[in-house]
């Protein structure tokens, strides 16, 4: 993912960290904030027995990875917006490229590669530390509930 982020503004990493800590489901999963740089957001899901979806192999449930990726995708949109705005996932597709390795943490990273006034387009991947060996890939669109603009204000960039 080498795309140029649609906005050079950056929300403080402190905000992204606070966001991760304030979401009860992320707290329950044990998700931690890792990084926010150049429009790319990274979070980490520590391996935990309670998240196992395949008891015969100890592999983490797809749903836990899905939740991780939905969250990091949202954070990448905040980063592209340069501000917190209410938003909603319109759709999210995940491809499970290979099973996660038991007892290894999972990193989720995402980048908003296109931002329009009302819709953000994101892609991302999950991996065990090497982004070139992904476990899962996601694409998603998010609806942005921006405050109403008055007509005098500058038009949005393409």
Which chain residues interact with another protein by CB under 8 A?
22-28, 49-56, 60-64, 66-71, 88-96, 99
Query: Residue 55 in 3-state DSSP?
Result: coil
Residue 10 or 92: the one with the smaller Cβ distance to another protein is: 92
- Minimum CB–partner distance for residue 55 and another protein (Å): 6
Encode burial over 18-36: b for 16+ CB neighbours within 10 A, e otherwise.
ebbeeeeebeebebebbeb
CA distances from 47 to 16, 111, 125, 128, 133 (A): 22, 23, 17, 10, 18
Looking at the Cβ atoms of 65 and 79, the one nearer to another protein is 65
Residue closer to another protein by CB (options 71, 76) is 71
Question: Could you tell me the smallest distance in angstroms from the CB atom of residue 157 to another protein?
Answer: 27
Least separation, in Å, of the C-beta of 53 and another protein?
5
Q: H or E element: which one contains 28? A: helix 24-29
Rounded CA gap, 130 and 138, in Å?
16
Least distance CB 24 / another protein (angstroms)? 4
CB nearer to another protein: pick between 42 and 69? 69
């Amino acid at each position: 993912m080498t795309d140029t982020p649609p906005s050079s503004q950056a929300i403080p990493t402190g905000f992204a960290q606070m966001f991760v800590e304030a979401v009860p489901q992320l707290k329950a999963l044990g998700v931690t904030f890792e990084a926010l740089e150049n429009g790319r957001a990274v979070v980490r899901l520590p391996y935990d027995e309670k998240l196992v979806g395949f008891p015969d192999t100890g592999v983490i449930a797809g749903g836990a990875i899905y939740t991780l990726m939905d969250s990091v995708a949202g954070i990448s949109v905040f980063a592209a917006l340069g501000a917190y705005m209410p938003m909603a996932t319109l759709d999210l597709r995940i491809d499970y490229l290979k099973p996660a390795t038991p007892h290894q943490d999972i990193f989720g990273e995402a980048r908003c590669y296109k931002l329009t006034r009302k819709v953000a387009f994101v892609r991302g991947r999950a991996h065990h530390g090497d982004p070139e060996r992904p476990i899962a890939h996601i694409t998603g669109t998010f609806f942005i509930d921006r405050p109403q603009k008055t007509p005098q204000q500058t038009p949005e960039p393409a």
